[in-house]
Structure 1
Amino acid sequence: MAVSQEVLEHATDLFGALGPLRTGRMFSGVALYVEEDVMFAMIASSGTIYMKSDHSTLAQFEAAGSLPFTYTRATGQRQVTSLMSLPDSAADDPDEAAQWARLSLGPARAAAEKKRAEKARKAARKAS
């Protein structure tokens, strides 16, 4: 099931304060990017918005009632705590949603930097 256009438009409206957004495919949903390659949020096919998280932000998300992205594999259910649901209180509040998005930017930028470095290492190995 794909993300509906209505849900995608709602999410881009919620996070519009961050500046220009780019979208891309992620799992069966849509990833939201700022700064070209910084993925700060994901919209699951269910319509749930998940925010990028790490050890420095996880407690704040949990305290707000956020749940980790969960999916099922043949070996059972897996939780991805690097993607925590947008708190319900922010679902229709662009100001609060922007605050959560700004919180997600730290982990998102760190993940993007790690990806860039890995890509550069692979390119260097291939060139030599």
Structure 2
Amino acid sequence: MAAKPLVRYKRTRRRRCDNRDIQAENIMAVSPQFRDFVLDQLNALGPLETKRLFGGLSVRCEGLHFGALLSGNMFYLVADPALRSDLEALGGAIFSYARGEKVIEVPRFVSVPEEILEDVDELLPLARRALDIARRDPRRRQA
């Protein structure tokens, strides 16, 4: 029996033919003024820093990711089911994004309503709860 000849396939770079250009126009970056405003509101928590996350910024305190500035000047807190329901009762919404025809919800991030964000006395207890949730998160890396 004769051996089949070895067929080599030319490796080609796969081209994406989706609507990335259209999606890129719909994504709004976080403004530096909004970032500074949120960090000023949260400065009582301790030293804060931001790092890039998805198309926005991760908000960290003591190296713990407890919030995010995403989708054009929206502030989200990391939430467990109890904090999620409290934020939703105040008017917050679960972070969601479109992937093709589907809408993907990320219940770990819940938005902080604008009225709460502007009132430090209401914002700080919620942010402290999110920071406690981040401390207890089993997925966090030990340094």
Q: TM-score with structure 1 length normalisation?
A: 0.82
Q: Is the 8 A contact 2:65 2:134 kept in 1?
A: yes
Higher percent of residues as helix: 1
Q: TM-score with structure 2 length normalisation?
A: 0.74
Matched AA of 2:139 = K
CA-CA distance at 1:58 after TM superposition: 1.8
Equivalent-residue separation in structure 2 for 1:109 and 1:55 (angstroms): 16
Q: Is the 8 A contact 1:40 1:104 kept in 2?
A: yes
Count of residues paired in the alignment: 116
* Equivalence map 1:74-89=2 (5 Å): 74-89=100-115
* Equivalence map 1:7-46=2 (5 Å): 7-36=34-63, 38-46=64-72
1:110 matched residue in structure 2? 136
Q: Is the 8 A contact 1:20 1:34 kept in 2?
A: yes
Matched AA of 1:94 = V
- Deviating runs (4+, > 3 A) in structure 1? none
Structure 1, gaps ≥5 residues long: 121-128
CA-CA distance at 1:41 after TM superposition: 0.8
Larger radius of gyration: 2
Q: What is the alpha-carbon root mean square deviation over aligned residues?
A: 1.7
1:54 matched residue in structure 2? 80
Matched AA of 1:12 = L
CA-CA distance at 1:39 after TM superposition: 0.8
Aligned-pair identity (%): 33
CA-CA distance at 1:75 after TM superposition: 4.8
Instruction: State which drifts further: 82-91 or 4-13.
Output: 82-91
Equivalent-residue separation in structure 2 for 1:65 and 1:48 (angstroms): 13
Structure 2, gaps ≥5 residues long: 1-27
> What's the secondary structure of 1:80's corresponding residue?
strand
The structure whose RCO (Cα within 8 Å, separation 6+) is larger is: 1
